[in-house]
Amino acid sequence: MKIIKTIKEFNNYRKNLEGKIGFVPTMGYLHEGHLSLMKKAKKECDIVIVSIFVNPTQFSPNEDLEKYPRDFEGDKDRCRSVKVDAIFYPEEKEMYPEEGMTTVIVEKITKKLCGVSRPTHFQGVTTVVSKLFNIVKPNRAYFGQKDLQQSIVIKRMVKDLNIDVNIVVCPILREDDGLAMSSRNEYLNEKERTVAPIIYESLQLAKNMFDNGEKSVERLKLAILEKINSKISDDMGKIDYVEIFDTENINNVMKVNKGNAIALAVYLGKARLIDNIIL
């Protein structure tokens, strides 16, 4: 497995590659969710490339850039365990050698959901993913459904800009108690970790209600809010949003339909956790 730290070195590596290239962009601190993307890529492609880069431009000044967890040695082992071919592991000055003037902006769908509390997050994501796609030149790129809005935004960017990369969105992996896997679960203390599964339980409750005929957006949202608030007290955390929407344009729906998504974000201790379910 190659570890490549510079773009120049990557270009030299890339030009000799043949066959289908699968790409998994990550911020590292890899868990089973990331590994599931790599395994899927391995199954569908000849070469699998993983990038590990904690991208500063997708954090706002008050967010957790500095304390975002890092474990490159462990990440290498994890990548090796699923037979990744190369890790692209650039330093910040390699990706942003000077103040960049160029931004790739997706409008509208980035203003909703997480975009409300993280207004510059998605332009950081779309810009760095554009850069990574231009460096890695993959045929397929793998994203987790855990970051549902991100995957919708990336798909939209790829379509609008005619980027020749196939976007593959893979299912959410969960801990045994249902909590969606996330590098940020690391931030939870023992008590917070104990109550965290209520987030997914609330989504399952809503899905059950929907499957049993409930089509009211308000009643489903209310059920989720009540369920979460029954376990997460004001001093432990608070709900950022709960939304029900169509998965192409993230438009709120009047009446819930099959294929709509429910997504939510919850502040819990030092963590901001997101989760979602497709109906």
Give residues in contact with a copy of itself (CB under 8 A). Answer: 7, 11, 100-109, 126-127, 130-131, 134-135, 137, 156-157, 160-164
Question: Could you tell me the smallest distance in angstroms from the CB atom of residue 93 to a copy of itself?
Answer: 14
CB atoms within 10 A of CB 68: 18
For a copy of itself, the closer CB: 3 or 105: 105
Nearer to a copy of itself by Cβ, of 163 and 253: the residue is: 163
Cβ(185)–Cβ(273) below 8 Å: yes
Chain centroid offset of residue 88 CA: 18
Give the tokens for residue 112: 């909703």
Are residues 175 and 81 in contact, defined by beta-carbon separation less than 8 angstroms? no
Per annotation, catalytic residue among 14, 34, 40, 76:
34
- Identify which of residues 134 and 230 has a Cβ nearer to a copy of itself in the complex: 134
The tokens 């949202």 sit on which residue?
Answer: 221
Q: Closest approach of Cβ 105 to a copy of itself, in Å?
A: 5
Six-digit token pair at 41? 């890529």
Closest C-alpha among 117, 110, 130, 132 to residue 53: 132
Site of tokens 């089509």:
215
Residue among 163 and 225 whose Cβ is closer to a copy of itself: 163
CB of residue 53 vs a copy of itself: minimum separation in angstroms?
Answer: 13
- From the CB of 106, what's the least distance to a copy of itself, in Å? 5
Instruction: Tell me whether residue 34 is one of the annotated catalytic residues.
Output: yes
Inter-CA distances, 76 with 2, 49, 83, 87, 89, Å: 10, 12, 10, 8, 10
Longest alpha-carbon distance in the chain? 57
DSSP string covering 50-81? EEE---GGGS-TTSSTTT----HHHHHHHHHH
Residue bearing tokens 């199954």: 43
Which one, 157 or 266, has the nearer CB to a copy of itself? 157
Task: Provide φ and ψ at 34, rounded to 5°.
Answer: -60, -45
Which of residues 148 and 157 has its CB atom nearest to a copy of itself in the complex?
157
Task: Compute the least distance from the CB of residue 94 to a copy of itself, in Å.
Answer: 10
Amino acid residing at 172: I
Residue 160 structure tokens: 């609008």
Q: Minimum distance from CB of 269 to a copy of itself (Å)?
A: 35
Residues with catalytic function: 34
